[in-house]
Amino acid sequence: MTFLRGFALRVAAAVTAMTLAQMIPAQAQDTLKKAMPGQWELSTTERSKTCVVTLKGDAAGQGYKLELEPACKTALPFTRGIVAWSIKGLDIVRLQDAAGESVIDFTEVEAGIFEGLRQGEGVYILQDLAAARSMAKSMDQMIGDWAMVRGNGQPICGLTLTNTEAGPDNFQVFLKPRCDAAIAQFNPTQWRLERGQIILMSKSGAAWQFEADDNAQWRRVPDTADPLIMLRQ
């Protein structure tokens, strides 16, 4: 009897585990489906090309309804084929064509920010419209003159971030005369704002990343014992 009772308990535990394993993916998918309806910005990585997508909760063929603003087809031509959206797997937001085939699939990389790749074109971002517009405002605030200083406050270079396009999603940056040798050698020519970081890029493809700290300064990451800091002028 003890053996039978133990066997029954093991069977019950196995059945419970299987049931939970089936429930968790369904719950995750349902949570994502409920979170998505609303207005989203679809854009290139640094918003040089953008359009507004409104995801709806109403069923539409093999997915759910959506609306694309008229400017989408010009800004992002691949959107011409998008007629609906759906959730695939646990965490994929799919923008799909009339046959239910993927035009582009997005996965969440940060809270409220989804990233998708189109082969031969590059990466696109889908994010909450209000958050995207807040980021755009932040980017506008980046434009202008900056100073680079060491951790002791010693100025070592001046530079100007502009809104002049310098290739896909990047903008021109200019160094001022008499920069520290290390900065002059790096010689950044382009910049962009990406996921809360200022990225400076040289002609050779090297990149320096700066993150805002608690003192409203931008520190190069990873941090070092002798940090490099960007200050708005």
pLDDT tens per residue, range 45-91: 867 788 999 999 988 878 999 999 998 999 999 999 999 999 988 78
User: What is the spatial distance between Cα 146 and Cα 155, in angstroms, rounded to a whole number?
Assistant: 10
Q: Is residue 26 part of a domain?
A: no
The share of the chain scoring above pLDDT 70, in percent, equals: 84
Q: 92 in helix, strand or coil? A: strand
Q: Tell me how far apart the alpha carbons of residues 216 and 74 are, in angstroms, rounded to a whole number.
A: 38
Task: Let me know whether 120 and 156 are in one domain.
Answer: no
Confidence of residue 173 (pLDDT cuts 50, 70, 90): very high
Q: End of a domain among 76, 98, 132?
A: 132
Pairing assessment for the beta strands 228-232 and 144-150 based on DSSP bridges: antiparallel
**Within-domain flag for 17:** no
Q: Give the pLDDT score at 136.
A: 67
Domain presence at residue 88: yes
Query: CA-based angle 51:54:55, to the nearest 5?
Result: 130
Predicted confidence at residue 55, as pLDDT, reads 93
Compute the Cα dihedral for 84, 86, 88, 93 and give only its sign: positive
For residue 21, the model assigns a pLDDT of 41
Using alpha carbons, select from 69, 109, 79 the residue that is nearest to residue 92. 109
Beta partners for residue 68, in sequence order: 53
Q: What's the confidence (pLDDT) of residue 109? A: 87
Shared domain check, 48 and 122? yes
Strand partners, 42: 51, 126
Q: Among 24-28, 64-68, 97-101, where is mean pLDDT lowest? A: 24-28
At residue 26, the pLDDT reads 55
From the CB of residue 124, how many other CB atoms can be counted at a distance below 10 Å?
21
Q: Do residue 41 and residue 122 come from a single domain?
A: yes
Q: How confident is the model at residue 217 (pLDDT cuts 50, 70, 90)?
A: confident
Domain that holds residue 122: 36-132
Domain check: are 128 and 42 in the same one? Answer: yes
Residue 8 structure tokens = 């029954």
What is the average pLDDT score of the chain? 83
52 and 108: one domain?
A: yes
Identify the pLDDT of residue 61. Answer: 77
Asked if residue 12 is part of any domain, the answer here is: no
- Taking only the tens place, the pLDDT of each residue in 103-153 is 999 998 888 889 999 998 989 999 988 877 776 666 777 889 999 998 888
Q: Domain total for the chain? A: 2
Last residue of one domain, picked from the residues 132, 154, 182: 132
What's the predicted TM-score (pTM) here?
0.56
Distances (CA, A) of 194 to 60, 92, 165: 34, 22, 15
What mean pLDDT do residues 186-203 have?
89
Answer with the one of 98, 132, 166 that is the final residue of a domain.
Answer: 132
At residue 47, the 3 state secondary structure works out as coil
CATH value at residue 117: 2.40.128.10
